Structure 1
């Protein structure tokens, strides 16, 4: 079930919201939480019920492991047991994710290097497995280190399976969520939260169906046939994906936060205008913020962070980004994506270390250029395809502009330089790239808009109008891009 579907908007979520607040009036607060658990499991099963046992088994396993870790945390004689259960829990979680996500990638590389002929398993990746696995691995770490202490089965199951975040984040942290699940105030109707949450949801819906899905028209043809791209086509393809991913993930993040807020539950803001970043360090403070925080706290810092000297700091940064890239997908293109960002972070930190200055517009340009190259590898089916696209972007000898109309009328003199004028629908993508650029550069972030909103008739009319137009455009549903990870 998609957030951008009629069954979610007009059936599933209204029923969930009404049931949640109705059960919240009871003295037993677990009833409302049980309702959300049931709704979340149904939401997950709607995609493919075959993977529900996998989710439930994962929750049960980690709940038992965390129970042992928490039960024996104050007993010195049980320290080795706690450590063994902790390591075993992490190993099983990593093994589960590795089996579903990386088995075929591993076999492909073994076959290539060793000349073997192992059959690929062609395993279908269960939806959300990366997110619910990493959420629970982080929880086990927090239990082992004494950060997490609550151990309620209903609340834990809700923490893992809570449907706004289950399939594509943000990554939740046990400490901040359990207090909210246990608080009776979150189960009472609060109209301000409903209004602000609904507004944020509509903004996210508009980003998805009016912007992200429009860019998709210019992304798929180019990445499906990179060898046939001209100079202009290659740039339109790459920039269109850059904006498609931006508005798709931003839209999902807004919708997830908005849905939770309507239920008086605060989940982490995951997106804060990353294309306005002045450097790659700033970019990762704005893009997929919960994942960046997770990588910093649970990979970079345990590796030593910046405590072991400058050289080790750079190695830790690079390794952390390689892991982040590989977490997104099983392929060398994802590893290269991580390597690009790892190298860029090293350069950025070195630049800051020597307190060098840079003209701010140049900083923005270099940051976005680095991000663009990374996204090409991120989206391409192979390293070869990514290379073809970048080569086309660097080959102005193959410039083809659309025939007829304003472009040929005012730029006909370019024919003397070898420019060809021919009918090309891809060129129409430039106007959407311009619209996307203006939105990214000048519009305030969704969260800022919502926090500044005033519940007036005009505001209600604007939100209703945007929502109406967005719902009309929802005729053909498209999944959010981060669902594949």
Structure 2
């Protein structure tokens, strides 16, 4: 099984070209060399701790140099998935140095680092969870419910990417090409569309990866949990890209001192973490601003908690800026404000540069840009899906005034409902599999209806693969 997974994972990565393969192999050789040495020293030397720490430092430094070299000093294309497998390598080395040397095995390592569902965009899973899951395959009996739930989850993820993220992405690309001439409503919809695009693109990949793992009997760590329903910025980072938050908390925030060295040091540590997060995502000032926007709001929230010390807000958590819970009062307002702030920060994340981001946000607050209150027709037409429009052609809809806007509103309203309902794709897939396999009707939902729905989105997604764009986070 392990050899088969290694072979299939290697075959999966081969399609990304010789350049990406060469860099990946360099990373593997570097980390394997130190892994064997660390494992050997840890077992045989009475003075092993100091030597292991030295080897650990050199190994991790090499990973950081490789990543930073391509991100900030490379003149060509970025190697595919370098950020994700570099963080996985760092996590592996760190775990190897704290007690898993006796468990280190070459096949286990190759399975962990090559495992194809997570290699491109994560989640950044730890070594033990992946190897334990693979070890249990020989004793685990794959159930029909797991396979069905996995297939449904994969279908939902595929639909998120192909039918929503890519359509939204076309509108976003068009919008950023007309930043200087767009109206205020255009600017708002471009910003919101990118928030939706990024969510569906990244969570869609994670759903597909998790779905594949479910189908073969492996549990993959969750990476998203309805992040746009968060009521504050700390909760957002507990729900968005969960494995990255966990990585930075464990390997940067806590080593810096976390919240154990006083309030001022805690605030500084939070800002450092988000500054580094910005640099990890990209090498422009716009990424730094994006990271600091999140860090500053996290510090403000933590400062508020430290100042008022309400019983329902107080608490000392090892998580960045998370001082506990908050009152349920005003949950809708809190969620809306958090989403608005996160969306404004995403503008810097997406814009080609700082000036374009400021121009777009300026349109929203500029009174003159609100005159006329209209949405550009060309922008609205970017949302037009041929499959939907073909159905409209047999109706009077094409002759209606403003008919060009119908697809746009269908996609945006549906996206909003899916995102803000709080229902994750995993929960939907699990419930759907339970209903279908149980052959029962629940709250008016019939078995045949669910079966047809998943069949349609799966076939529709597969047929649309010819025009699919690359995943956004592959570039980070």
TM-score exceeds 0.5: yes
Q: Secondary structure at the match of 2:124?
A: coil
Q: 1:432, 1:396 → 2: CA distance?
A: 28
Matched ranges for 1:15-414 at <5 A:
32-74=1-43, 75-103=45-73, 122-146=75-99, 149-185=102-138, 189-353=142-306, 354=308, 355=310, 359-399=330-370, 400=372, 401=374
Deviation of the 1:479 alpha carbon = 1.2
- Which segment is superposed worse, 79-88 or 122-131? 79-88
Deviations 1:170-194 (A, max 9, x none): 1010111112222343676433221
2:455 aligned with 1:484 = no
Determine the structure 2 residue equivalent to 1:416. none
In the alignment, is the contact (CA less than 8 A) between 1:148 and 1:175 conserved in 2? no
| Aligned residue in 1 for 2:384 | none
Q: 1:41 touches 1:52 (CA, 8 Å); kept in 2?
A: no
C-alpha deviation, 1:271, in angstroms: 0.6
Counterparts in 2 of 1:328 and 1:190: CA distance versus 1, 3 Å? same
C-alpha separation in 2, matches of 1:267 and 1:129: 20
CA 1:428–1:137 in 2, change beyond 3 Å: closer, same or farther?
Answer: same
Separation (CA, whole Å) in 2 of partners of 1:189 and 1:397: 61
**2:442 maps to 1:442:** no
> Post-superposition shift, 1:36?
1.2
Shift of 1:88: 0.9
Change (3 A) 1:365 1:148: farther
TM-score (structure 1 length as normaliser): 0.82
CA deviation after TM superposition for structure 1 residue 425, in Å = 6.5
Match of 1:114 in 2: none
Mapped partners of 1:182, 1:61: distance in 2: 26
| Equivalent position of 1:29 in the other structure | none
Structure 1: tracts of 5 or more residues without a match: 1-31, 105-121, 405-421
In structure 2, C-alpha distance between the alignment counterparts of 1:151 and 1:313, rounded to whole Å: 35
**Aligned length, in residue pairs:** 420
Mean Cα displacement is larger for which, 142-151 or 323-332?
142-151
Structure 1 position 261, deviation (Å)? 1.4
SS at match of 2:47: helix
**Aligned pair partner of 2:463 in 462, 472, 482:** 472
d(CA) in 2 for partners of 1:423 and 1:462?
Answer: 29
- Local SS of the residue matching 2:220: coil
**Aligned residues: CA RMSD:** 2.3
- Contact 1:216–1:244 (8 Å) recurs in 2: yes
Q: CA deviation at 1:285?
A: 0.6
Q: Could you say what secondary structure the match of 1:227 adopts?
A: coil
What's the secondary structure of 2:467's corresponding residue? coil
Contact 1:187 1:263 in 2 (8 A): no
**What does the per-residue CA deviation read over 1:192-244, in whole Å, with 9 as the maximum and x for residues that have no partner?**
22111111000111111121112112100121332222211111111110111
State the Cα distance separating 1:426 from its structure 2 match.
7.9
Confirm or deny: 8 A CA contact 1:218 1:240 kept in the other structure.
yes
Give CA-to-partner distance per residue, 1:390-414, whole Å, 9 cap, x none: 001112322342699xxxxxxxxxx
Structure 2 distance, partners of 1:55, 1:317, is 31
Which shifted more, 446-455 or 140-149? Answer: 140-149
Structure 2 counterpart SS, 1:272: coil
2: CA distance, partners of 1:244 / 1:68: 44
What is the alpha-carbon distance in structure 2 between the residues aligned to residue 302 and residue 322 of structure 1? 16
What displacement does 1:432 show? 2.7
Question: Secondary structure in 2 aligned to 1:125?
Answer: coil
